[in-house]
Amino acid sequence: MAKLIYFSIFILLSNTGFCQNKKYFGQVIDKETQKPLEGANIIIKNTGKGTSTDREGKFEIERLYDNKEVEVSYIGYQSTPHRLKGRSTNIIQLEKETLIIDHIDLRLGEYKGPSTYITKKEFESKNTYTQSVNPNFTIIEEPASFHGGVANLYAFFAANFQYNQSMLEQKSTGSVIVQFTINEEGSAENIKFFKEINLSNQVKKEILNTFKTMPNWKPASQRGREVKQHFITTISFGDNRNQN
């Protein structure tokens, strides 16, 4: 009788351990800050099955078809393939990603973008946002967007970047790489300049003023939560009308 009881306990503990081993456990964090990322998507490769992380960046996911390969994604970060391990918590570190916006050419005589800028009020009066709901697990990631798209962003800069007489008298063209962040409210912040060519203080000030007057974007969202997203672009400036 005693042997039967011991055997039953052994079977129970074995089954418990087996059930626990049917799941992978992990945590997704920002590689730079080491802070957890809530709402990151974890998809088992070639299955369409997945889950998302909780407030502490933690997740658990069923083992399916002995597949240990997962794809981890989060808006504003580089998507990362990862091979899960079964006997420990999988720590997955994501690196920030900066999206490239095509060249914004503000040189007089060179601008070839839309001739008319559509204001945010005009755009919203003609467009409505709708959101579909899917009961199954889906990757819900939406990048930040300027109303009317990138073409309207070019038109905004062309309409609002103002040349004064001193800037025109320089008679030289130049360019600068600008990096900026669209925050959770949709406004631009952390504006930084790199690889400056003929960038005077006046031109730099006018670029900053244009960014400050730019209407808020629709912020990026990760599973319904607004998140920051980083962008980079090249801006050209100067009077090129007499050089063609």
Tokens of 162: 């103002």
Do 64 and 178 share a domain, yes or no? no
Q: What pLDDT shows up at residue 93?
A: 95
Which of the four pLDDT bands, split at 50, 70 and 90, describes residue 224? confident
What pLDDT is recorded for position 56?
A: 95
Specify the pLDDT at position 10: 44
The pLDDT, as a whole number, for residue 133 is 38
Strand ranges in 143-244 using DSSP code E only, listed in sequence order: 174-182, 188-197, 220-222, 225-227, 229-237
Query: Is the dihedral angle over the CA atoms 28, 33, 34, 37 positive or is it negative?
Result: negative
Q: Calculate the CA dihedral of residues 146, 54, 25, 74 and round it to 10 degrees.
A: 0
Do 128 and 206 reside in the same domain of the chain? yes
Q: What is the pLDDT of residues 55-67, one digit of tens each?
A: 999 998 877 655 6
Residues 53 and 167 in one domain: no
Q: In this structure, is residue 49 part of a structural domain?
A: yes
Q: What is the pLDDT of residue 171?
A: 66
Q: Are residues 19 and 129 in the same domain?
A: no
What's this model's pTM, rounded to 2 decimal places? Answer: 0.75
| 244 within a domain of the structure (yes/no) | no
Strand partners, 222: 141, 225
What length is written for the chain? Answer: 244
Torsion of CA 15, 18, 19, 20, to 10 degrees: 120
Give pLDDT tens digits for 9-61: 444 444 444 444 578 899 999 999 999 999 999 888 877 788 899 999 999 88
Domain-embedded: residue 243: no
| Predicted pLDDT of residue 220 | 92
Where does a domain end: 62, 94, 126?
94
Does residue 111 sit in the same domain as residue 198?
yes
Q: How far apart are CA 214 and CA 178, in angstroms?
A: 15
Confidence of residue 2 (pLDDT cuts 50, 70, 90): low
**Domains of the chain: total:** 2
39 and 102: one domain? no
Q: Is the pLDDT of residue 211 over 90?
A: yes
- 124-156, pLDDT tens digit by residue? 665 544 443 334 456 678 899 999 899 899 999
Cβ 174 vs Cβ 193: under 8 Å: no
- Residues 6 or more apart in contact with residue 117 via CB below 8 angstroms: 152, 155, 156, 158, 159, 160
220 & 115 share domain: yes
Do 59 and 122 belong together in one domain?
no
Structural domain contains residue 242:
no
Look up the domain containing 76 and give its range.
Answer: 2-94
For residues 90 and 103, state if they share a domain: no
pLDDT digits (tens, 9 = 90+) for 77-120: 998 899 888 777 899 999 999 988 888 888 876 666 676 677 76
Which CATH number fits the domain that encloses residue 20? 2.60.40.1120
The domain boundary, picked from 60, 94, 128, lies at 94
